[in-house]
Amino acid sequence: MELFSGDYFLNFFMRYLHVLVGIAWIGLLYYFNLVQVPALASYGDEAKARNLTLDKLARRALWWFRWAAIATLGTGILITGQPDYWSNFYGKLSTAGIGHDAAITVGMIYAITMAANVWMVIWKNQKVVLANAVNVLGGGQADPNAAAAGRRALLASRQNLIFSVSMLWFMVGSAHFYGSAYGNATTQSAVNYTIIAVVVGAILQLNALGKLGGTAATNKLLWPYESHKNAMITSGILWLFLWLLSEFMFA
């Protein structure tokens, strides 16, 4: 069966699965940020309805969300783990592929950070929120830590929304844009570009985690996360900066 031969299995089938589970992951990320969170905010004083939504709907969505993230990460590692995948970055082949390697590197680092956010921040804190919802529905007292946990999960989720636009740009662009558009790019320019993109991403990530002034709404540095509209604007600014920077550095 040709599909399961080494070449087609990794170069086609794993890519197909990678896109499939990636749609589930990023689709749910957009659902949470653009649909569920704004909708829950509109519930007002209807605490029971909100807790029922968290328990019956959000819990199920979070299950698919976090496992789709793992599946996307796993299939991506299988694709990029092939022996000759990164050869251009080390100058072994034509310089036409150096842009590809820089793009896929930045895309992967953003994606890995996003997956880490899912499991180490969003899910960790959402478990507190979900447990509180069940407890309150059962007649128990509200957990005073639930609001802070929900806030931390929200910040990380909106940071993932911000990363997602550039991450998808680099994932698709590595093969269909950066791999051929910048024939004059050098290995050094690709390395320098990657370093700048990673540093910018790291600053944003630290900000979302509250390391640059805390997680309180009074922290003005958290403007990108205070609404889904702000996050969308920030995602566009990040993408525009990274694209224009690549035009300048790879020309």
pTM for this predicted structure: 0.93
User: Is 70 exceeded by the pLDDT of residue 130?
Assistant: yes
User: Is 90 exceeded by the pLDDT of residue 2?
Assistant: no
Question: CA 120, CA 69: separation in Å to the nearest integer?
Answer: 12
Tell me what pLDDT residue 95 has: 46
In whole angstroms, how far apart are CA 57 and each of 62, 125, 157, 172? 9, 17, 17, 32
Question: CA 119, CA 113: separation in Å to the nearest integer?
Answer: 10
User: Is 60 exceeded by the pLDDT of residue 94?
Assistant: no
pLDDT higher at 223 or 1? 223
Question: How do residues 143-162 score in pLDDT, each as one tens digit?
Answer: 999 999 999 999 999 999 99
Question: CA 175, CA 101: separation in Å to the nearest integer?
Answer: 9
Question: How do residues 193-228 score in pLDDT, each as one tens digit?
Answer: 999 999 999 999 999 999 999 999 999 999 999 999
Segment 5-31 mean pLDDT: 90
Number of domains in the chain: 1
H helices, E strands: number in the chain: 11, 0
User: Angle of helix 123-137 relative to helix 146-176, nearest 10 degrees?
Assistant: 140
Boundaries of domain holding 58: 2-250
User: Is 80 exceeded by the pLDDT of residue 73?
Assistant: yes
Question: How do residues 169-186 score in pLDDT, each as one tens digit?
Answer: 999 998 889 878 877 788
- The two tokens of residue 64 are 């698919």
